[in-house]
Amino acid sequence: MRTRPVLIYDGDCAFCTSSVMFAERYIRPSCETTPWQFAEMESLGATRERAEYELLWITPPGAIHGGAQAVAKMLLNAGSGWAVLGALLTLPPLRWIAHGVYRLVANNRERMPGGTPTCALPADRRPGNGTSTSDSAR
């Protein structure tokens, strides 16, 4: 059984990877971080489809939080001032605003700093997955 939460992110997305690296360096949550591409999603109780759609925070007992609430749980886990921000993100109306901002960023991550056009492609159409983007567009 896991003793620490797991943060699952899109390792093919440069913006997502940079964001997680920032969190590891400055926010310092006590968790494991892994791209969904290398995670054993079934053993974590999550699906690839959900991980492609949003950041996931999976607690040791197996509760799964996605998107803005995954960010809130990570901040709560980090403690100190970060925990205050995380707690605020769990309360309406900030929770609803956080969800909207998260979806806006996630849906446009290829346009974010460090993002690439690959970030906008579904996982099965990304380079290295056996299908080129030009073949998939046909």
Q: What is the pLDDT of residues 95-136, one digit of tens each?
A: 999 999 999 999 998 888 776 665 655 556 554 554 333 333
pLDDT at 117: 61
Q: What is the pLDDT of residues 7-54, one digit of tens each?
A: 999 998 888 999 999 999 999 999 999 999 999 999 999 999 999 999
CB atoms near residue 91 (< 10 Å)? 11
pLDDT at 47: 97
pLDDT at 122: 59
Does residue 93 carry a pLDDT above 60?
yes
Which pLDDT band, with edges at 50, 70 and 90, does 138 fall under? Answer: very low
Beta-sheet strand order (sheet of 56-58): 32-35, 6-9, 56-58, 64-66
- Judged on CB neighbours under 10 Å (0-12, 13-18, 19+), 129 is middle
Q: Which residues pair with 65 in a beta bridge?
A: 57
